[in-house]
Amino acid sequence: MKEWKLIVDKIPLKGSLNMAVDEYLLHSIEKDSLTYLRFYQWERPTVSVGYSQKIKKVVNLNYCLRNSIDIVRRITGGKLVLHHQEITYSVCSSDNKTFPPTLSESYRFISEALIHGLKKMGIDAYLASEAPASYTKGNLPCFSYPARNEIEVDGKKIVGSAQKRLGSRFVQHGSIPVEDNGDLLESVSSLKGREGRVRMASLSRVLDRKVSFGWAVDCLAEGFSEYFGIKMVPKNFKVKEMEKISEIQRNRYENKDWTFYRKEC
């Protein structure tokens, strides 16, 4: 039975640190066939934008500044996401025997594993079909529509994900709302009215009860384990690894040239 490394960050972290950890994991698997599954939280409301997005077109900067909302830029593509009262997952892998070599197919595999975990919570989730062109080509937030092979419940997106590939290795991370923060998402977005409306589902809203981080992560991890037929082995970072992560955090994700202008650091 194959083994994956499981990382569960029980303490919410700063957005720049969360992004640095995912990038470190992506680079750490360059020479070995490994897979990491990570679950984490955010210490304060944080907006993340996709690699190619222009912040002024998608983020209400004045609102974020007035309300102490952090902004980070991901190395993955995709659209604006508000990270608040959610579970974030990431999969970093260089295992080309488990995952197909294309973004779309590996994306679908991960979505199906997430659906398996959501069903363990009692949530009847399913893969979405094509999103409208106004979403695909426009600047709408991530939770405006489910894109192809993303996950929805009753026509609303419950998981929003993005992936970056470097040859045969990739990182995919995504947002799973625990609480419905659609109003705040619309506020941090620069889009207003019908154009900026979100169609978000949350774990608590669907289940009609409070959902704990630990319980939800257990269900999701078990779903991955069963879907891929693998064993989870806990992973803790060593001191030297944390030093490298801190360097990535400092040089990229806390660097305004990267965040606001996407200059390589």
How far is the C-alpha of 92 from the C-alpha of 172, rounded, in Å? 6
* Per-residue pLDDT reduced to its tens digit, 63-104: 999 999 999 999 999 999 999 999 999 999 999 999 999 999
Do strands 126-127 and 46-49 pair parallel, antiparallel, or not at all (unpaired)? Answer: unpaired
How far is the C-alpha of 250 from the C-alpha of 19, rounded, in Å? 11
pLDDT at 135: 52
| Domains recognised in the chain with CATH numbers | 2-261 (3.30.930.10)
Residue type, 207: L
Structure confidence at residue 199 as a pLDDT band (50, 70, 90): confident
Average pLDDT over residues 44-51: 96
Residues annotated as catalytic are: 142
- CB pairs under 8 A, 24+ apart, for 60-66? 60/187, 60/188, 60/189, 60/190, 63/187, 63/188, 64/188
Structure confidence at residue 207 as a pLDDT band (50, 70, 90): very high
- CB pairs under 8 A, 24+ apart, for 190-196? 190/56, 190/57, 190/58, 190/59, 190/60, 190/139, 191/58, 191/139, 191/140, 191/141, 195/140, 196/140, 196/141, 196/144
Structure confidence at residue 137 as a pLDDT band (50, 70, 90): low
| Phi/psi of residue 190, nearest 5 degrees | -80, -5
pLDDT at 136: 53
Residue 97 sits at the vertex; the CA angle it makes with 96 and 98, to the nearest 5 degrees, is 90
DSSP H or E stretch at residue 86: strand 86-93
How far is the C-alpha of 201 from the C-alpha of 179, rounded, in Å? 8
Structure confidence at residue 140 as a pLDDT band (50, 70, 90): low
Q: Count Cβ atoms below 10 Å from residue 230 Cβ, excluding itself.
A: 18
Structure confidence at residue 139 as a pLDDT band (50, 70, 90): low
* Per-residue pLDDT reduced to its tens digit, 112-135: 999 999 999 999 999 988 655 555
> Which residue's entry shows tokens 């995912």?
22
pLDDT at residue 47 tops 80: yes
**Tokens of residue 216, six digits:** 């939800």
DSSP H or E stretch at residue 227: helix 213-228
User: Comparing C-alpha atoms, which of 170, 146, 30, 190 is closest to residue 90?
Assistant: 170
Residue type, 210: K
Average pLDDT over residues 250-264: 90
* Per-residue pLDDT reduced to its tens digit, 213-230: 999 999 999 999 999 999
70-73, strands of its sheet edge to edge: 70-73, 46-49, 81-83
pLDDT at residue 17 tops 80: yes
